[in-house]
Amino acid sequence: MITKKKHSLLFICLGNICRSPAAEGVMKAKVHECGLDSEFFIDSAGIGDWHVGQLPDSRMRDRGARRGYRFDSHARQIRQSDFDDFDLLLVMDKANYKAVTAQASSEEARSKVRMLTDYLVEHSGTDVVPDPYYGDLSDFDYALDLIEDACEGLLGEISGNY
């Protein structure tokens, strides 16, 4: 019997406490709404190790909760095996892209690294999910606007391939 491989998505940002855990939680929620949980493996990671083990930033947890999301992953750092274990490594900004592609050990690994903004629909033309960490609550809301839009676009693109 041929078993269909799961779609495996890793969301990556600098600290893994604001943008990428939000993207993980939003994507999981959208996949769940579509009844596709069994078809996906979704995780997030950070480029730095400063926040390893921590829950997402309380501001992102609060702003996400207002939209019905629960962000409760624990931060971890990216590792070399992520390039083998995931189909796509989705980064938030250009510095993330540079840092992650620098760790890719082959062209195949490098080609898995994509900007999350590539999947924006409503906000097409925006090319980064800005880091809200040193910003105010509106910066967290804006990051969530972009993340929701891109996750819908990504899910549409993947499920269009069924």
**Which residue sits closest to ligand 4NP, CB atoms considered?**
15
Q: Are 6 and 41 in contact (CB under 8 A)?
A: yes
Binding flag, residue 15, ligand 4NP (CB under 6 A): yes
- Cβ 113 to ligand 4NP shortest distance, Å: 16
Q: Footprint of ligand 4NP on residues 76-105 (CB under 6 A)?
A: none
Q: How far is CA 92 from CA 7, 12, 99, 137, in A?
A: 20, 7, 11, 18
Interface with ligand 4NP: number of residues (CB under 6 A): 10
19 belongs to the catalytic site: yes
Contact pattern from residue 133 through residue 162 relative to ligand 4NP, giving x for each residue in contact according to CB under 6 A and a dash for the rest: x-----------------------------
In single-letter form, the type of residue at position 136 comes to D
How is residue 154 written in tokens?
A: 């990504």
Q: How far is CA 139 from CA 18, 21, 136, 155, in A?
A: 11, 16, 5, 24
Q: Which residues are catalytic?
A: 13, 19, 131
User: Can you give the binding site for ligand 4NP, defined by CB under 6 A?
Assistant: 13-19, 50, 131, 133
